[in-house]
Amino acid sequence: KFRMPTADNLVPIRLDMELDGQRLKDAFTWNINDPDSEVINFSRRTVKDLKLPPAFMTQITQSIQSQLAEFRSYQGQDMQAKEMIVPLKLDVRVNNTVIRDQFLWDISNFEKDPEEFAKSLCEDLNIEDPEVAPAVAVSIREQLYELAVQNVSSAKEYRIGKKGRRGVESVSSSKAGNGAIDLARLFGNKGSVIRKRKEWHLYEPIVDVLSKEEAEALDAREERNAR
C-alpha cells in the first residue's frame, strides 16, 4: 500500500508565497499522523517568529493543508514498481552553500532514513551550515514521494489493463529527472555497477560555497524567475 519508502512516513512540504511585499520560502517534513490543529499552531508560530504580516497565517495554513490532503488521497492505494533501485539527484542551495550529487536508492528498504543519510553526507563533505542537511533530506523525500505516486499509477494501469504489459513497464517522467530506471542503460550493457575511471567525475558530489555577491545575484535571478 502507498507510503513513503522510508523509515518514517513523513510528508515533504514546500512553501513559496509572497504577500504585502514579503516573500516566504521554506521546506520541511510533516508527520501525517499529527492532528490538523497543529497546522494552525505551526502557521501562527511561523508568522510570529519571522515577523510576517498576519495575512501569511491563512496562506501558510491552506498551503500545508492542501499538500497533506493530496498525500492522504493516495493512502490505502496499491503500489507497483518495476525497479527497486532508483537514481536520485541533488541540486540544493541553502544560504551560500550549493551541493550537487547523484546516487542510487533502494525503495524496497523501508528502514532507510533520508535525514540520517543527509546528515552523514554533510559530515563527509565537511559542510558546517546546519540548514543544509535538512534541505537535502527534504529533496530526497520529494523525489521518493513522486516515485511513490508514479507507482500508484502503475498499479492502476496494471489493474484496468489500459496499456497491457506496456503500462506496467512504462516510466513516467519526474521532476527529479529520472523515475524508475533501466540499470543496464545506466551502467552499460553488462549491467556493472563499477563505474569507469573516466566517469568518476560525473558521480562525485560537488560542493560550492558562494560569495556574498554571487548569492545575492542568484537570489535576484530566482526572484525574477518567480515573478
Question: Which of 28, 43, 76 lies at the terminal end of a domain, its last residue?
Answer: 76
Question: Which of 52, 76, 100 lies at the terminal end of a domain, its last residue?
Answer: 76
Buried b (16+ CB within 10 A) or exposed e, 172-182: eebebebbbbe
Question: Which of 59, 76, 93 lies at the terminal end of a domain, its last residue?
Answer: 76
* Domain coverage including residue 136: 84-160+177-220
The answer to whether position 225 is within a domain reads no
Are 88 and 118 in the same domain? yes
Are 50 and 31 in the same domain? yes
Min mean pLDDT across 34-38, 93-97, 127-131 is at 93-97
* CA dist., res. 209 & res. 93, Å (int): 10
The answer to whether position 101 is within a domain reads yes
Q: For position 95, what pLDDT does the model report?
A: 85
Min mean pLDDT across 113-122, 175-184, 197-206 is at 175-184
* CA dist., res. 157 & res. 151, Å (int): 10
C-alpha cell at 202: 560525473
Structure pTM? 0.76
Are 108 and 198 in the same domain? yes
Task: Assign 97 to helix, strand or coil.
Answer: strand
The answer to whether position 165 is within a domain reads no
In the chain, the number of structural domains is 2
Are 22 and 67 in the same domain? yes
Length of the chain equals 227
Mean pLDDT, residues 178-198: 52
Q: For position 82, what pLDDT does the model report?
A: 76
Closest to 94 in 3D by CA, of 222, 227, 210: 210
